[in-house]
A and B are shown apart, each in its own frame.
Chain A
Amino acid sequence: MMGIFAIILPEIFLFSSSTLLLMIGLFYKKINIINLLSFVVFGLTAVLVVYQPSSFGFNNSFVNDEFSKTIKVMILLGSAATLLMFSPSRKHININIYEFPILISFASLGMMVMVSSNDLLAMFIGLELQSLSLYVLASLNRNSLQSSESGIKYFILGALSSGLLLFGISYIYGFTGNTNFNLISATYDKDSLGLLIGIVFVCSGLAFKVSAVPFHMWTPDVYQGAPTPVTGFFALAPKIAAVAIFLRFLYSSFGETATDWQQIIIFLSIASMIFAAFAAIAQSNIKRLMAYSSIGHVGYILIGLACFNFDGVKSLIIYLIIYLVMNISVFSFILMMKRKDEYCESISDLAGLYKDRPFYAILISLGMFSLAGIPPLAGFFGKFYIFMSAIKNDLYLLAIVGILASVVSAFYYLRIVKIIYFEEPSEKFDEFNSSSLNLLFFISSAIVILFFIYPSPIINIGNYAANTFF
């Protein structure tokens, strides 16, 4: 009996601690304490995840393997980073409520279930727990029209995508008689048109969650409207979880007939890369720009997904880790930028950063170069491994489109560098005195810049996680 529960021990721990914290928060409204405790809970959960043996249970609907463990640790890292972003900014953005860390915890719990699920229904439950928490998070700033709008928009479109997903699941169940990934794979009928429809619908639903073109419409609005720490969270954790379940769903259930769904992924990938590269050029709000940037990055990540082999998974994991680190650095920086106690969100507000804070200016510029994928920064290695796997699999079209899109996208990242360095300042920035944001910013920037000196740890994580499938 205990054996079964040992499989979901981290999830149980996270669930019971968050519920407990919710209770505590109700009576003892010290947000800082709740936030700190949630942070500790995330840390402990991560430890539990790391020390969990690889196993599966609940009729094989829940698996713990190297892949899910890696992704879970990344999700927890992203969530913990969000809490660090939350604490210094909560008073300014009118989200000064103790539910924030709790909601983050529940969202993370949903993601963890999602990542480990080996069954369509378990996947759906995890996905919905995650999504519901995210809808609330997006509209957390009740006094802001934009925030409410983004919440509603996200909710409606999210519900639609869940509908598509569920519709696809019903088709898959109808034509195979199973919801378990491995059983679907075993009873897969190659010529079944109904099953193909099911795959297409599930892929659409999941593409919405990873915000791949043409299911990306919600992303810019939600990123811009949501309170900045929440936007940071959107960019960090849910995307990673959604990519992970996308991968597991396709690889475990339909590994036999990869060529069928590869076309879908290739299309999503090319569309995302090209669209994001051009659409981001015209943006003036940095959060919106980061939304388009994340769409573009998803395009590259999907290349790794389309490869369907060891190198593909490895490159995908490496890319996700680097993407996580780069986004932490950018969002912690966005939260530090204030003028007269007001957050600066427009790109043109960055003007004069160089005169004011030269050290921050060089670090964030290097962050931008890294997002653009210029060597020797970390972002280059992410792209490098992605292209390695693409070329190994003869996906030349993807590689060429990807590399050209990266040149185009370099333009809008460089535009930020241009504004930081080459334009005259308007007013001085407030002191960048939040220690938690500084900590996040410096650590993540250090990883971005120094990655090339000692890349083995992250590459080894990639190898470790990729072993699961191949």
Chain B
Amino acid sequence: MNELPILSILLLIPIVGILLLTFISSNSESDSNLKQTALWITFLNFIISLVVLFNFDQSNPNFQFEEKYFWLGDSISYHVGIDGISILFVVLTTFLVPICILASYNNIKFSMKEYLIAFLALEVFMIGVFISMDLILFYLFFEGGLIPMFLIIGIWGGERRIYSTFKFFLYTLAGSVFMLLAVIFMYWEVGTSSIPVLLQHEFSYNKQIILWLAFFASFVVKIPMWPFHTWLPDAHVEAPTAGSVILAGVLLKLAGYGFIRFSITMFPDASHYFAPMIYTLSIIAIIFTSLIALVQEDMKKLIAYSSVAHMGFVTLGIFTFTIQGIEGAIIQMISHGIVSAALFLCVGVVYDRLHTREIERYGGLVNRMPLYSFSFMIFILASLGLPGTSGFVGEFLVLLSIFSVNTYFAVFATTGVVLAATYSLWLYRKIIFGQLIKDDLKDILDLSSREILIFIPLIILTILIGIYPVPVLEIIEPSSQLTIDIINGKMK
């Protein structure tokens, strides 16, 4: 194992970036030195996360690269490490942040410096969530991410940004505070907030129910599940493109990760007790939000609602307590992280040109923008779960697992796949196909080289995971199996 405190380095590099940006002057018109610095810093972080990925021992299901330092005393320590469940999320985060910065090169018109600082801070918090091995540290990062996101939506967002950002902040905060009380309760119950210890601890049935509900209150808002999803479309619509990307790409995954890591593993009895409720809510989310997506007039809103539907598959998979379900949920999250991020970027591309997200205003783009149409098609197909794209693998595994648990739920969930195809293809047809009759579209330009650079890695990953998901599954499998074993051990 590597002696370098490599996970702390992952956290520190963006912080160094923040300090650098603070002292770089932003006098020049284009802020290009700021953008370059931020881009290279985040790219460096991505490289380091790849180093972690390649040094990661896939056969070992336990936490690796552990670091532990004294922090708050009383057995609350700065304790970080990663296992097969969290490592891919870390890489996803470090992968998406440089893309976000690249995507913000031209559409952030003012205060570039603060914007980049907020993004780097957000990266620190997101990585922190995934690598924390201490519950209180986890909570710190989980909540801390609200501050930069609040500012990103509020300052650089659209017209109703203030309403949206307040809704986002207060909604998520109100959900999360219960988790804090639960965390404290667990700390006094067990005497430590170390996650590996807590994973082995067996709480009594009644306590599990209460604690599970407290964690659920936090995650259900964050993931978000129907009927607590209303903040998401608002936040997405008003956020700048990169904000939407990171929101859909990573922030929603924090809760899915939380469900796997905490809810089902630490409170298996309660999870089994509440599983039918989760199934029901997930099914409603899948069908209901897909139907809502069908009638949207705003592109971003449509994708936001589709996110809720996709996250329904994730929760469905997690609460089957099968290896396929958990693997499927993780792959679905990774895939959704890539695909929905890419879809928001696609919206951003035409928004930058026309400054509207209304679906009616577009049509026939294929005539002027072939490259764009091609990339958009790949992501739309991945979003609806076409075999050969990453979206298929996750959904298939989840459907497989839910079928083994309950056939009726599986039937309903499959309907969601059909609906996803309906709204996705409808969106694609409206925007890309048809005659190019609208005047302002006549001289619209195709992807610039910067945009091509953004889309290429996303396309490659989408197809690669879709065609050959084995390497990804190999990383996930041992730790997922361990999770299942812990649950079964506690359930007896």
Contact = CB atoms under 8 A, between A and B. Distances in A.
Given A362-B114, A375-B143, A410 B169 contact: yes
Contacts of A357: none
Contacts of A459: 72-73
Contacts of A417: 150, 154
Contact of B178 (A365, A369, A403, A421): A403
Contacts of A365: 151
B162 A387 contact: no
A391 B184 contact: yes
A388 B174 contact: no
Most chain-A CB neighbours within 10 Å: which of B113, B147, B155, B188? B147
Contacts of A207: none
A455 B161 CA distance: 35
Most chain-A CB neighbours within 10 Å: which of B73, B111, B166, B181? B181
Given A358-B114, A374-B143, A455-B72, A403 B181 contact: yes
A219 to B, nearest CB: 26
Contacts of B136: 384
Interface string B426-447: 0000000000000000000000
Nearest to B174: A407
B154 A388 contact: no
A459 B136 CA distance: 16
B180 A414 contact: no
Interface string B296-334: 000000000000000000000000000000000000000
A418 B162 contact: yes
Contact of A375 (B111, B140, B151, B184): B140
Nearest to A421: B155
Indicate the size class of the contact surface on chain B. 20 to 34
B181 A399 contact: yes
- Interface residues of chain A: helix, strand, loop or mixed (majority): helix
Top 10 closest pairs, chain A to chain B, by CB: A375-B140, A403-B177, A375-B143, A376-B144, A407-B174, A391-B184, A375-B144, A376-B140, A392-B188, A388-B184
B228 interface: no
Given A418-B162, A452-B140, A410 B173 contact: yes
Contact of A374 (B146, B151, B166, B184): B146
A391 B181 contact: yes
13 contacts: A365-B151, A374-B143, A375-B140, A387-B184, A388-B184, A388-B187, A399-B184, A400-B181, A403-B178, A403-B180, A407-B170, A414-B170, A456-B70
A211 interface: no
A91 to B, nearest CB: 34
Contacts of B178: 403
A215 interface: no
Interface string B154-179: 11000001100010011001100110
Nearest to B128: A376
A404 interface: yes
A354 B144 CA distance: 21
A414 B150 contact: yes
Interface of A: 354, 358, 362, 365-366, 369, 374-376, 380, 384, 387-388, 391-392, 399-400, 403-404, 406-407, 410-411, 414, 417-418, 421-422, 452, 455-456, 459
A95 B427 CA distance: 68
Contacts of B161: 422
B181 A422 contact: no
B56 interface: no
B72 to A, nearest CB: 6
B149 to A, nearest CB: 12
A267 B161 CA distance: 39
A375 B72 CA distance: 14
A406 B173 CA distance: 10
A391 B143 contact: no
B144 A374 contact: yes
Contact of B154 (A404, A421, A452): A421
A414 B166 contact: yes
A358 B178 CA distance: 34
Contact of B73 (A358, A375, A414, A456): A456
B185 interface: yes
B409 interface: no
A72 to B, nearest CB: 25
A456 to B, nearest CB: 7
A417 B161 CA distance: 14
B181 A375 contact: no
Contacts of B162: 418, 422
Contact of B181 (A387, A407, A410, A452): A387
A407 B184 contact: no
B144 A410 contact: no
B184 A418 contact: no
A310 to B, nearest CB: 11
B326 to A, nearest CB: 28
A107 to B, nearest CB: 35
Interface string B175-199: 0011011001101100000000000
Nearest to A361: B114
B71 interface: yes
B403 interface: no
Contacts of B170: 407, 410-411, 414
A354 B154 CA distance: 13
A387 B180 CA distance: 9
Nearest to B189: A391
A176 to B, nearest CB: 36
Given A403-B178, A422-B155, A455-B71, A391 B188 contact: yes
A178 to B, nearest CB: 37
Given A387-B184, A410-B173, 20 more contacts: A354-B155, A374-B143, A376-B140, A376-B141, A384-B136, A388-B188, A391-B181, A391-B184, A392-B188, A400-B181, A404-B174, A407-B170, A407-B173, A410-B169, A411-B166, A414-B169, A421-B154, A456-B70, A459-B72, A459-B73
B139 interface: yes
A358 B111 contact: yes
Contacts of B177: 403-404, 406-407
A203 B154 CA distance: 44
Most chain-A CB neighbours within 10 Å: which of B70, B169, B177, B188? B177
A422 B140 contact: no
B166 A418 contact: yes
Contacts of A422: 154-155, 161-162
A404 B114 CA distance: 31
A400 B179 CA distance: 11
Contacts of A362: 114
Nearest to B171: A407
Contacts of A452: 140
